Amino acid sequence: MDIQQWLVFLIFGLPLISFPFVIGVGYIKKNLSMYLGTAVIFVSFLIGLYVFFNYTVNGIVISASVNWLPNLPISIPVGIYADNLAMIMVLMVSFVGFLIILFSVGYMAEDPRRHVFFGEMVLFTSSMLGLVLASSLLMLFIFWELVGLCSYLLIGFWYYKPNAASAAKKAFIVTRVGDVFFIAGIGAAILYSQGAALSVANIKAGASVIPYVWQRTIVSLLLFGGAIGKSAQFPLHVWIPDAMEGPTTVSALIHAATMVTAGVYLIARTYTIFTPLSLAVVLYIGVFTIILSGLIGLVVNDIKRILAYSTISQIGYMVAALGLGLGATSIGLSIYQLESHAFFKALLFLSAGAILHALLNTRDINKMGGLWKKMPVTITAMFIGALALSGFPLTAGFFSKDSIISASYSVNEIAWVLLATGGFLTSLYTFRLFFKIALGKPKTFAAEHAHEAGILMLIPIVILAVFSLIFGLFQNGFYTFLGGAKATITSLDAIPAVLMLVGMGIAYYAYGRESTIPEKVAKASGFLYRLVKSKFYLDVLFTNVIAERVVLGFSAVMDGFERRILDGLINTWGYIFKNAGLSLRKIQTGLARQYALIILIGLFLALLLLRVLMYLGVFH
């Protein structure tokens, strides 16, 4: 490999090789592991920045692959593929990941297992970097699974807490359902293309790598099934809220820079395979997920879970953008929203982490209040994040999300209405959270005595707040770089902007003052409120019906079939042959005269049989 290829390999290879050392030095000095882990990710970011400005901006694609199993009739490439899409993702993952890990130095400073935490965070970041730089679907899947493993380890980092252990298992199992579809999609791609569709370069070159439309529809829908699991879209979104049981910095990394963006990247990476039918499925799954998660976000009181549902919703916008079917423009719309979301979602989660750090891990927003005076820097930064998340004009979220809503109007007017409605819901639940936290009087002793976090925690928050405001300035160059048409904000976009401001105003009227309006609305809504509060009974459906009734019921039936029928048949045949053997062995007496008698009887019976056959005309 030349120097370019080595540099790309080091982007993910350096943290991959370093993570055991990050853990290992912690057994000597725990704090050293924190600094080493932070430094490793920062170096990866610097390498990525160098590659980006020296090669990628000049249109150079850096790739290197070897055939993993050369004796097979198909080629299985393993290596790197660094094009503009991959490098945009590399910069986001490494930069936002670095800021989150830097924040963790202060946030996890007192945890006795912090060396393990930083090692796992480094591995998590490395896995995502390897995923986006993979040269084949199979290599991408290997890093995809490694990302899943890291999420399991980090969500359940405080494994001694039953909720954390349960949440880790739930995330692992639910995302494995999606992974079954992903691996099936890889298998179908190999079958329909004689292995050619394994290569990212071949997929990028065009849809002809899989010749027939129906074949591409099958492959793309199976791959989308994998994306649904990782990117928490309906119906496999149920793992995300429970995943909040891990440290808040884990939540920030999962939601902003790694796991949930992996599915969106997979769709964008394999976009040429998708057909109009599969893109329609992508569009409506994304739109439905936006509305579903937006409604649930209105009634949740856990600060981290509200942000979790906002992630599900915002990923829905990325998915819906890809489903619009606008080619490179759809990819640009989606990835721009992904990058923009990374900044303001990391900002919101780290701000929430600073609040939890100050309030002794109090997560109920009804037990906060008055924090703007107590934590002015953190809450101001959170306000900026809330504005960006809601799509307030001229913030990063406005240019990314409202561009998607605008583009949808010419493609599907129903989708446009639902996407705009989703923006209203986003503003409403986001500022419900913010006003209940920031305004009013402190509701608890912890809130009354809250204070700002340390400087190492505030620096990443401030940097992310700045990017949440100014990232819109990079819009034109961003779309040009990804090869799509420039997204424009038209007069039509006044409607989503007005809806956003209306949602913000309603939130202030209902939650920014001491008001009983929310309780009255909840009481008047009756069943509808209970339906939303129960998260549309989806957890009940998956746990009590599908898991306990269907899966366990089917398992019980198969267990009964195995024990009573299969085991019965096997035992019956065993009994027959065992007793036949016991009976036959009795003739083995060792007496020569008995053997002679048996031979004579056998000879007599053979001659008798021969005579009968001759009589019947069988022999002449």
Rounded to 5 degrees, φ, ψ at 159 are -65, -20
Q: Using the 8-state DSSP alphabet, how is residue 441 labeled?
A: -
Residue 620 has a pLDDT of 61
Q: What is the mean pLDDT of residues 483-509?
A: 81
Cα separation values, 536 from 167, 234, 292, Å: 19, 12, 9
Residue reference for tokens 């969500």: 155
| pLDDT score of 456 more than 70 | yes
Q: Which two tokens stand for residue 593?
A: 């005269």
For the stretch 113-146, pLDDT in tens is 999 999 999 999 999 999 999 999 999 999 999 9
How far apart, in whole angstroms, are the C-alpha atoms of residue 391 and residue 502? 12
Q: Are 365 and 433 in contact (CB under 8 A)?
A: yes
Q: Which two tokens stand for residue 295?
A: 């409604």
Alpha helices in 270-395 (DSSP H): 276-297, 303-323, 328-358, 371-374, 376-390
Collapsing DSSP to helix, strand or coil, 67 comes out as strand
Task: Give, rounded to a whole angstrom, the gap between the first and last alpha carbons of the chain.
Answer: 84
Residue 604 has a pLDDT of 87
- DSSP characters for 126-176? HHHHHHHHBSBHHHHHHHHHHHHHHHHHHHTTTTTSHHHHHHHHHHHHHHH
Q: Position 275: which residue type? A: T
Contact residues for 216 (Cβ-Cβ < 8 A; gap 6+): 192, 207, 210, 273, 274, 275, 278
Rounded to 5 degrees, φ, ψ at 330 are -60, -40
Contact residues for 60 (Cβ-Cβ < 8 A; gap 6+): 4
Contact residues for 413 (Cβ-Cβ < 8 A; gap 6+): none
Confidence class for position 611, pLDDT limits 50, 70, 90: confident
- DSSP characters for 100-126? HHHHHHHHTTT-TTHHHHHHHHHHHHH
Q: Are 339 and 85 in contact (CB under 8 A)?
A: no
Q: What is the mean pLDDT of residues 560-587?
A: 81
Q: Which of 175, 202, 176, 205 is nearest to 189 (CA)?
A: 202
| pLDDT score of 283 more than 80 | yes
For the stretch 541-563, pLDDT in tens is 887 787 777 777 888 888 888 78
Q: Which two tokens stand for residue 396?
A: 């990063």
Cα separation values, 615 from 526, 605, 607, 608, Å: 94, 15, 12, 11
| pLDDT score of 357 more than 70 | yes
For the stretch 49-103, pLDDT in tens is 999 999 998 889 999 989 888 887 888 889 999 999 999 999 999 999 999 999 9
Q: Is 522 exposed, middle or buried (0-12, 13-18, 19+ CB in 10 A)?
A: middle
For the stretch 414-423, pLDDT in tens is 999 999 999 9
Please tell me the total number of residues recorded for the chain in this structure. 620
Cis peptide before 235 (omega within 30 of 0): yes
Q: Are 88 and 4 in contact (CB under 8 A)?
A: no
Residue 487 has a pLDDT of 58
| pLDDT score of 431 more than 70 | yes
Residue 489 has a pLDDT of 58
Least confident of 202-211, 286-295, 366-375, 388-397: 202-211
- Give, for 211, the enclosing helix (H) or strand (E): none
Q: Are 164 and 248 in contact (CB under 8 A)?
A: no
Contact residues for 314 (Cβ-Cβ < 8 A; gap 6+): 337, 341, 345, 389, 401, 426
Planar angle of CA 353, 355, 358, nearest 5 degrees? 110
Rounded to 5 degrees, φ, ψ at 31 are -65, -30
Q: What is the mean pLDDT of residues 191-220?
A: 91
Q: Using the 8-state DSSP alphabet, how is residue 512 labeled?
A: S
How far apart, in whole angstroms, are the C-alpha atoms of residue 459 and residue 461? 5
Residue 570 has a pLDDT of 84
What is the dihedral angle through the alpha carbons of 36, 37, 43, 49, rounded to the nearest 10 degrees?
A: -160
Residue reference for tokens 């997979």: 266
Q: Position 260: which residue type? A: V
Identify the residue with better confidence: 587 or 40.
Answer: 40
Q: How far is Cα of residue 54 from the mean position of the Cα atoms in its chain?
A: 31
Planar angle of CA 494, 496, 501, nearest 5 degrees? 90
Q: Which residues pair with 65 in a beta bridge?
A: 79
How far apart, in whole angstroms, are the C-alpha atoms of residue 509 and residue 532? 22
Q: What is the mean pLDDT of residues 487-512?
A: 84
Q: Are 522 and 529 in contact (CB under 8 A)?
A: yes
How far apart, in whole angstroms, are the C-alpha atoms of residue 372 and residue 375? 5
How far apart, in whole angstroms, are the C-alpha atoms of residue 109 and residue 171? 26
Q: What is the pTM of this model?
A: 0.89
How far apart, in whole angstroms, are the C-alpha atoms of residue 167 and residue 155? 7
Domain boundaries, given as residue ranges, for the chain? 589-620
How are beta strands 77-82 and 62-67 bridged, if at all? antiparallel
Q: Position 323: which residue type? A: G
Contact residues for 497 (Cβ-Cβ < 8 A; gap 6+): 391, 393, 398, 402
Residue 575 has a pLDDT of 84
How far apart, in whole angstroms, are the C-alpha atoms of residue 542 and residue 457? 38
